[in-house]
Amino acid sequence: MTLCKGRTVIITGAGGGLGRAYALAFAEQGACVLVNDIRPAAAAAVVDEIVTAGGQALANSDDITSMAGAQHIVDAALAAFGEVHVLVNNAGVLADRMFTSLTETDWDRVMQVHLKGHFCLANLLGRRWRDLAKAGTPVDARIINTSSGAGLQGSIGQSNYSAAKGGVAALTLVQAAEMQRYGVTVNALAPAARTAMTEGAMPDVVKKPQDGSFDLWAADNVAPLVVWLGSSASAHITGQVIESQGGRLSLCDGWRTGETRDKGAKWDVAEIGAVLDDLIAASPAAQKVWGS
């Protein structure tokens, strides 16, 4: 199986859960994989699995939330494999509390890992791919971001995480629009799977079935989508946010201008309430916030 033969992939948070599943699946399809995780032993264990199966992989534990750390990651991949073709921004962290109980540390930590963690590597690789394209070198590169249902609909007790993941979805749209001219596609996932984060947040929901039935929450259910998006076959798809759980794939329908009432003149304050009531009544109901 060689869908990704000759391609090099950097995957963050790849020492377990979804990241591990992606790393193993990419390697199975012939890719060289840089396995990044802040836990060196976890990253090394995934690399051992890949190498034992005959693949090529490199463990790395540099910091994705700093430009210096991101540069070390890119340099390591280039030194080992010659080029980087795919970035999978997967690493994440939770600090769940009701909004009025959040601390500044809770907020900053989640924003640092999710939003800045999505920026640093993508910015460095984006510059590299842009410069190669401008110099006349063909580029066939991919950025695969990770959003969440919490970022798309909101989730009670996760306002920091929801805000960060909503930011990732918006970032994806802008990256896709700006980078397509350089041969780079950018898409995002909203995966639902059993990981250390979801087991900590909702253990009863994501537990593995004991009756041998299909495991909706298995992380490796999401991996085929990610590998295909990282392959050359996906060059025509960009700017999408895709939900994945079990055997289900869904395209997310993002913010767009909906029902409109135009008076053609300035509204009076007394008119606003009735107009908004009319607009809401004429519009499809939004999906409920998770947990509500």
Alpha-carbon distances of 240 from 172, 244, 253, rounded to whole Å: 8, 13, 9
Q: What percent of the chain has pLDDT over 70?
A: 97
Q: What is the mean pLDDT of residues 230-245?
A: 96
**Helix, strand, coil distribution of the chain in percent, nearest 5:** 50, 15, 35
The pLDDT, as a whole number, for residue 256 is: 87
β-pair type (56-60, 241-245): unpaired
The closest alpha carbon to 27, from 3, 43, 44, belongs to: 3
Please identify which of the residues 61, 155, 165, 231 carries the catalytic annotation: 165
Going by C-beta distance under 8 Å and a sequence separation of 6 or more, which residues neighbour residue 88?
A: 9, 10, 11, 12, 14, 19, 22, 144, 146, 226, 230
pLDDT in tens, 192-213: 877 766 666 667 667 777 787 8
Residue 245 has pLDDT above 70, yes or no: yes
Domains parsed from the chain with CATH numbers: 8-251 (3.40.50.720)
Residue 148 annotated among the catalytic residues of the structure: yes
pLDDT in tens, 13-60: 999 999 999 999 999 999 999 999 999 999 999 999 999 999 999 999
Q: The whole model's pTM is what? A: 0.92
Please identify which of the residues 155, 161, 162, 234 carries the catalytic annotation: 161
Please identify which of the residues 61, 147, 148, 162 carries the catalytic annotation: 148
- Counting DSSP H helices and E strands in the chain, the numbers are 11, 8
For 71-80, 206-215, 277-286, which range has the lowest pLDDT when averaged over its residues? Answer: 206-215
